[in-house]
Amino acid sequence: MSAAQINAQSASDPTYSKSALTKKPLALRPPLGWNSYDSYKNSIGEEETLKNLEIFARKLATHGYEYFVIDYGWYNEDSMIPGSIRPWFRQEAPDWALDGNGYPISSRTYFPNGIKRIADRAHQLGVKFGLHLFRGVIRKAWDFNLPIKGSSARIQDISDTKAYTDWNDVTYGVEMSKDGAHEYYTGLIQHLADLGVDMIKCDDLVPYPAEVEAIGRAVASCERDMLLSLSPGDDTTPANKNSYKWGHMLRITNDIWDSHQCLDDCFARWRVWQGSAGPGFWPDMDMLCLGTLTGYIDPVDDHRRDLTPEQLGTMDLEDVFFRKCHFSTAQERTFLSMRALSASPLFMGGCLIRSEQRVLDLITAPDMLKCNQNGISGTLQSETGQLEVWRTPNQGDETQGWIGVFNRSETETSNPTLTLKDFGLPDGRYQFRECWTHQPIEISKQAVIGADDVLFLEYKTI
């Protein structure tokens, strides 16, 4: 069965809802945070984590960014690059750090003092802490057929060894009809809660509605308040929104990187999900791939994937592990304006230690954040050729709000003459201000919008 076919299944039991189980509402506004994947892939260690955390608390948390998330790899027992503190994460037979019930625990390679040390420090700084999780049971736990906490069943009794994807060789799926399946997920979520986790990014999940609901129920029922992010998402459809609503965030794209094609992908998925965001449920266009990023995923130059540990040991590791974002200044504006107008969660992906202050200023720009935290997903108002106009009204007052006029061309400048009809606004007198330049705009005059650029306007009646 294809992912799309699986995705079309309904949740196993619609008589229960997240709201009936949750103690208090979470994610009333699009969540803001940082995630390690775009800058470290699956190889962030304790020292780099703590340095990023301190910068996050000092430079981003003061602007409303809440969640500090360690992505995939925190329980990988990988070897080290010769002569370096850097882990080598491409060994042929990776190992996973597990407890006696098959739950992931801190990697001795990456986090010798334990992941809870990071969670505790985050909480000391007033920051919420998150971890990545794969759906299902880790294959090492299946190999040892470990017992399930709170059940007489064992891991192999609940596993579906055919329910995995070609990009994830870490886990097998769980057959939720089996005895012990719900106990497994309940115990797993409680295990993360005991580590001090405030947010779970659960990967390889959205095509499996029964497991979405099982994990969602376990999170909603847990004594600790935890945000649940469902991932990845290019096959998601609003027709299955009831299943997805067990999460607070829903990835609606595949992994997004710094390329024109990925901008196009985001616009395409925005069309599908436009107008669907709201308190407790936020369609998510993936992390902000801005600033300094991992050198191991590069839409322009992927040569680092072929390096051996011996070659790495003779090279400047800063150059090997990190690179600069390929977006132009115009593409950065487009990327963030789109996220603001769509009310997508904003999770910085760039390395905070190495990214320029200019980038941090961009992602904390007051006008951009105000539009995003308004919490209304904008809708497409008009399109002419390569030009698209999207509008997001102010919550509760449609006489004001924000408009994005996007030039979708990668190569050509657009010179449109804009009208109120293009903006989807009724006749009247309006004042317009460009949010990136802070300059007033007269729409009766011809605008000039460069390739891959945007006019990000705030409007109000006068």
- Which CATH number characterizes residue 457's domain? 2.60.40.1180
Same domain, 176 and 312: yes
Select from 357, 377, 397 the last residue of a domain: 377
The whole-number average pLDDT for the span 74-94 is 72
Of the pLDDT bands very low, low, confident and very high (cuts 50, 70, 90), residue 26 is: very high
Q: What percent of the chain is helix, strand and coil (3-state, nearest 5)?
A: 30, 20, 45
Of the pLDDT bands very low, low, confident and very high (cuts 50, 70, 90), residue 296 is: confident
Domain count, the chain: 2
Contact 325, 291 (CB under 8 A): yes
Share of the chain above pLDDT 90, in %: 79
pLDDT at 311 over 70: yes
Same domain, 272 and 419: no
Would you state the structure tokens that stand for residue 337, as one six-digit string? 């304006």
Nearest C-alpha neighbor of 416 from the set 387, 438, 458, 381 = 387
What pLDDT is stored for residue 379 in this prediction? 98
- Which CATH number characterizes residue 143's domain? 3.20.20.70
Rounded to two decimals, the pTM is 0.94
Select from 338, 362, 377 the last residue of a domain: 377
pLDDT in tens, 197-254: 999 999 999 999 999 999 999 999 999 999 999 999 888 999 899 899 999 999 999 9
Same domain, 359 and 392: no
Q: Where are the beta strands (DSSP E) in 273-328?
A: 282-284, 292-294, 322-324
pLDDT at 454 over 90: yes
Hey, which residues does 174 pair with through a beta bridge?
Answer: 159
Residue range(s) defining the domain that contains residue 344: 3-377
Select from 377, 408, 436 the last residue of a domain: 377
Would you state the structure tokens that stand for residue 387, as one six-digit string? 């030009």
pLDDT at 12 over 70: no
Phi-psi domain of 259 (left: phi exceeds 0; alpha: psi -120 through 50; beta: other): beta
Q: In degrees rounded to 5, what are phi and psi of residue 288?
A: -90, 100
